[in-house]
Amino acid sequence: MPQKKPVVVVTRKLPDVIETRMMELFDARLNLADKPFSKNELMEAVKDADVLVPTVTDRIDASVLAAAGPNLRLVANYGVGVDNIDLASARSKGITVTNTPGVLTEDTADMAMALILAVPRRIAEGERVMRTGDWPGWSPTWMLGHRINGKRLGIVGMGRIGQAVARRARAFGMAIHYHSRRPISEQVEQELEATYWESLDQMLARVDIVSVNCPHTPATYHLLSARRLKLLQPHAYVINTSRGEVIDENALTRMLENRQIAGAGLDVFENEPAVNPKLLNLDSVVLLPHMGSATIEGRISMGEKVLVNIQTFIDGHTPPDRVIETMF
């Protein structure tokens, strides 16, 4: 008799090729309408699921996990960050959590580099001028920005993505500085000609551009606090392609309004999808709708990781992307 397929609940629409394979392998409950689950819908979904496939917009907190039926043994997150999942509650219930690391590194680093270029050179501001028809023509002193060649880039979180950003920035002639919980290998540090700062405060006071590339964890919540943001020089720029919660967004907004720092490039926000309305009125800020990893190739690779994690777990083995701890 054929073995009963596990019930896999998917909370958002995924690429067609991934959904098709899920239907072939599992008893997949897809979200074809792509409407985000409410908390009550999540609590209902986990009652019957063997596997839950959430995304970064789903809050899998203790109350959701408490509602889970006895069959839920795996939460296969469609995403790298797992700050949306209560890992301690999952562990206490014997539920394994996996994610999709590695496949989004280059895409996210590309977006961070795009913002590093766009903000100092006022690219988005110039594009808006062109669309309004207000361009008066070329002038030697109009729409002047700053070159990035020779500038110091301070990377907060030197993991896969931070190192990928550093490689790109080096190609543009930037000097690499970084802060992480521990230094990277000496070989990589030499390759990137990177300077390690044990003190984040000291690094922030000395760099021209800050790129936030660490995950959101309890330890990194408001890591760039109001106090730390005030350490930045007035000509500095802040780039965030990580998680909005890592920066005190209200403090950042106030400093941008008061021109205490030169600008920011933000792909993530503290209260997504809500954006501080004051940010919308600032020409010195480039705002993107959390699209750092939004490539077709990346989304398919994420789905393939989820499939492998589920199938490996069902086969009785430890999935390759089991989440043990989060670091930066």
**Catalytic annotation, pick one of 106, 243, 249, 270:** 243
Active-site position among 29, 272, 304, 322? 272
Q: Which of 21, 122, 290, 299 is catalytic?
A: 290
> ∠ CA 179-182-187 to the nearest 5 degrees?
90
Catalytic residue list contains 146: no
243 is catalytic: yes
The C-alpha angle with vertex 28 and arms to 23 and 74, in degrees rounded to 5, equals 125
3-state secondary structure 21-80: HHHHHCEEECCCCCCCCCHHHHHHHHHHCCEEECECCCCECHHHHHCCCCCCCEEECECC
Task: Identify whether the C-beta of residue 140 lies closer than 8 Å to the C-beta of residue 165.
Answer: no
Angle at 300 between CA 299 and CA 304, to 5 degrees: 120
Q: Is the Cβ–Cβ distance between 277 and 298 less than 8 Å?
A: no
191 counts as catalytic: no
Report the catalytic residues.
243, 272, 290
